[in-house]
A and B are shown apart, each in its own frame.
Chain A
């Protein structure tokens, strides 16, 4: 079987010092995205376990798989979770959730929890769309914006490039920074156009790192225009898979002239964390 360069690393985590049996409220959030699915379990409003997996062709299954993976080895079962909120692209397809909340609200809330109350601007660079969100100190959304329909400047675009260049997606960010001189950005971030433009550049003899640098800066540039619309107020946090790509993040920081906060956890779990936090609030309100 040929190597699949786009395959990113799945992850799973359990809090080393927590015991779910002594928790009063156990809630969960499941974020079924177009590319990845995450399940987060929280005990009394604190992170207990999470998993981050690829979404398959079947959303209900992806949600169940992510949940099973998060619960693995903890002894915790689905019936002990008091409330589950689904979010993301496949939010209505989470079979064990009691409610669906949009990823906009969840990412705002999740970023507030993961990066602290000083975060005002959240950029979610997801698998197939980008969202710019402005939040207040409680993580409530005050202004948001998403692009209409396009995978330009998203994780899926990066996967396509990894495949085209034959470089693992986990190394592509570092590689793009190895250019001596920053090349001009590719003229379109549209994945299809950019891919054919990149093929042309490769044929002209451009090294791979130069091509990926040109794509990364086009991607950063596109997102900056989205962010400028809502205004970038510090602190600034990036969530989603592209937040792990230093090539895009560093170019974005340079163009915006602002540093993004450094994540403590997997950047892809923000939506699911927000969902689990909403679930806890809904339990407390008795809804």
Chain B
């Protein structure tokens, strides 16, 4: 499943996408994110029968990612993103 966490700012709509089929719940994304928006959940609330843990954007952060993610994503440049780089499974993607 691809879980899209979206936000909207002055320049458009953006999404962090987590491919839960690729995610193995390792948690490498947690320390990598300077805004600490990720967590690993023992059960996926969107897929109740999943057996292994899964990463997700914290519920408390979901509505604030406009401010936290924006800092890693300058409009002028496309630098490599820490969360995308940290995920060995390649489960995290961002739209620009």
Contacts and interface: CB of A to CB of B under 8 A. Distances in A.
B10 interface: no
A232 interface: no
Measured as residues with beta carbon below 8 angstroms from the partner, the interface class of chain B is 10 to 19
Interface stretch (B45-53, B74-82, B83-91): B45-53
Given A141-B1, A143-B1, A148-B63, A101 B48 contact: yes
Given A140-B1, A142-B1, A229-B15, A148 B6 contact: yes
Measured as residues with beta carbon below 8 angstroms from the partner, the interface class of chain A is 20 to 34
A124 to B, nearest CB: 13
A148 B4 CA distance: 11
Contacts of B13: 225, 229
A147 B4 CA distance: 9
Interface string B1-15: 111101110000101
A230 B15 CA distance: 11
B66 interface: yes
B45 A105 contact: yes
Contacts of A278: 48
B94 interface: no
Interface of A: 99-102, 104-105, 140-150, 225, 229-230, 278, 281-282, 285
Interface of B: 1-4, 6-8, 13, 15, 45-49, 62-63, 65-66
15 contacts: A101-B48, A102-B45, A105-B48, A143-B2, A144-B2, A144-B3, A145-B4, A146-B4, A148-B6, A148-B62, A148-B63, A149-B63, A229-B4, A229-B6, A285-B49
